[in-house]
Structure 1
Amino acid sequence: MKSMTGYGHAEGVWGNRVFLIEIRSVNHRYLDVVFRLPRELLRLESALRDLVKKGISRGRVEIYLSERAKQDEPEEVTLNEGVLHAALNVLKRATRSEFVDMEPASVGHLLMVPGLFSVGTVDSQTCTGDDEQLFSILEEALQEFIARRRTEGLAIKAEILRFLDRAQSLHLGMKTRIPAIEALERERIVARVRGILGNTIDLASERLAVEVAYHAARSSVEEEMARIECHLHALLTLCREDGAVGRRMEFLLQELHRETNTLGAKAADLRLTEDVLELKHVLEQLKEQVQNIE
């Protein structure tokens, strides 16, 4: 079991540059991978995405790639003369305009022009290494990322097992009281019929027995109790599995909520109603934890 949140990073040399890859993720219904790459690396985005999908199944994953020159690599600043001339012409026109009150263009104005200067290495251009080197850096970052997801997933799993244990205890307590509750409900139905028809009715008649059995069956909760037990067992089984189990757990919790609501609507006993409300609270706590797993 893995959490959907995590962080991983790795640094390595690619060509004449040092690249840092950082991976962050948050909860998401499906897998959503977002890359923040330099323009010259956009050609590799599809291959990098395929590599990520091999180890991650769910979550919004953001991958940042930043670069810098090696420490022993000299760098130079290049002036974009075309941008400079264009910026100077605009500033000159602005100073001559009667609608703009400003001083003549200065170095401070020019430094604020985007793209006027570029920084690069002296000997070679950026991103000239073997693509496999970049993939290996990403794989290293992914290994740390997945390891942290697993560590957090173990903590979430412990919480899920704790809540499941509480839910099973509540279910067992309700199950032991159901026969007595249903017997009491049958007595209430007979008493209700007697109150309506009086003592002249033959309580041993076959027709009355059929009616009592019909109304007792409508108020029976055996089917709901059996389904709740089945779904709780299925959740425990998923806790023992490897891989992405979050969506299947979410579906089972939806079914558990539905059965528990039906059980609460049929409950004719105060203690049973209290247990149903407590079970709903435990299921909400389970839902909060399950929403965090892959």
Structure 2
Amino acid sequence: MKSMTGYGHAEGIWGNRVFLIEIRSVNHRYLDVVFRLPRELLRLESALRDLVKNRVNRGRVEIYLSEQPNQDESEEVSINEGVLNAAFSVLKRATRSGFVDMEPPSVGHLLMIPGLFSVRSTDAQTCAGDDAQLFAILEEALQEFIARRRTEGLAIKAEILRFLDRATSLHAGMKGKIPAIEALERERIMVRMHGILGSSMDLASERLAVEVAYHAARNSVEEEMARIECHLSALRSLCLEDGAVGRRMEFLLQELQREINTLGAKAADLRLTQDVLELKHTLEQLKEQVQNIE
């Protein structure tokens, strides 16, 4: 079991350039991979995405790739003389047309002219590199990312099992109360019918027995209790599986919620109603944890 949130990073050399890859993820219903790549590496986005999809099943995964300063790499600054000449020409025309004397531009003014200065590496191989090097950096970042997801997933798994234990305990307590509650309900039905029919009621009548059984069956929660037990058992089994189980757990929780709601609607005893409310509260806590797993 792995969490949908995680972080991983790795730094390595591609050609003669140093790159940093950072991976972050948050909860998402499906898998959504977003890359932030330099323009020159956009051609590799599809292949990099496939690598991530083979390792991650769910979550919004954001991958940032940035170039880091290389201390061994020398750079030179050049000036675009065409841009500079054009700028001076504009200033001269403005001076002549406005009949004003303008001071020569300062260094600060020159720095504000877009494209006037350019920086390039003196290393002729700076843009050359084996793509496999870049994939190796991503693989290293993914390993840390998945390891952290797994570590957090273990903590979430412990919480899920704790809430499952609580839900199973509540279910067992309710199951033990139901025979007495159903017997009390049959007695209540008999009392109501006696109040309606009075002394003419034949307690030995076969018709009366059928009616009592019918009303008791309508209020029976045996089927709901059996399904709740089955769903709780299935959730516990999923906790022992490897891989992505979050979606299946969410489906089981929906089914579990439906059965608990039906059970609450049928509950005619205050003790059972209180247990149903406590079970609903535990189910909400369980759902919060399940929403965080892959």
Length-normalised TM-score, structure 1 = 0.91
Query: 1:79 Cα deviation (Å)?
Result: 4.0
In structure 2, list runs of 5 or more residues that go unmatched: none
Asked if residue 11 in structure 1 is aligned to residue 17 in structure 2, the reply is no
Contact 1:75 1:119 (C-alpha < 8 Å) held by counterparts: yes
Letter aligned with residue 214 of structure 1: Y
Distance 1:242 1:84, change over 3 A: farther
- Where in structure 2 are the equivalents of 1:83-94 lying within 5 Å? none
Query: 1:259 Cα deviation (Å)?
Result: 0.6
Asked if residue 174 in structure 1 is aligned to residue 179 in structure 2, the reply is no
Q: Which residue of 2 aligns with 1:280?
A: 280
- Percent identity of equivalent pairs: 85
Partner SS for 1:13? strand
Distance 1:215 1:64, change over 3 A: same
Distance 1:216 1:124, change over 3 A: same
Contact 2:15 2:125 (C-alpha < 8 Å) held by counterparts: no
Distance in 2 separating the partners of 1:96 and 1:203: 120
Distance in 2 separating the partners of 1:86 and 1:189: 101
Partner SS for 2:62? strand
Distance 1:146 1:190, change over 3 A: same
Letter aligned with residue 227 of structure 2: R
Q: Which residue of 2 aligns with 1:35?
A: 35
Asked if residue 47 in structure 1 is aligned to residue 43 in structure 2, the reply is no
- Where in structure 2 are the equivalents of 1:224-235 lying within 5 Å? 224-235=224-235
Q: Which residue of 1 aligns with 2:2?
A: 2
RMSD, matched Cα: 2.5
Distance in 2 separating the partners of 1:284 and 1:178: 24
Distance in 2 separating the partners of 1:251 and 1:85: 69
Query: 1:69 Cα deviation (Å)?
Result: 4.3
Q: Which residue of 2 aligns with 1:291?
A: 291
- Where in structure 2 are the equivalents of 1:1-294 lying within 5 Å? 1-80=1-80, 106-112=106-112, 116-124=116-124, 126-294=126-294
Query: 1:201 Cα deviation (Å)?
Result: 1.5
Distance 1:150 1:80, change over 3 A: farther
Structure 1 residues 84-128: Cα deviation after superposition (integer angstroms, max 9, x where no partner)? 667778888999999xxxx98654345345555443311226441
Contact 1:92 1:104 (C-alpha < 8 Å) held by counterparts: no
Query: 1:145 Cα deviation (Å)?
Result: 0.3
Distance in 2 separating the partners of 1:97 and 1:213: 107
Aligned residue-pair number:
291
Length-normalised TM-score, structure 2 = 0.91
Distance 1:82 1:218, change over 3 A: farther
Letter aligned with residue 24 of structure 1: R
Structure 1 residues 187-226: Cα deviation after superposition (integer angstroms, max 9, x where no partner)? 1111111112212111221111111111111100001000
Contact 2:160 2:286 (C-alpha < 8 Å) held by counterparts: yes
Partner SS for 1:49? helix
Letter aligned with residue 33 of structure 2: V
Distance in 2 separating the partners of 1:165 and 1:193: 42
Distance in 1 separating the partners of 2:59 and 2:224: 33
Distance 1:10 1:203, change over 3 A: same
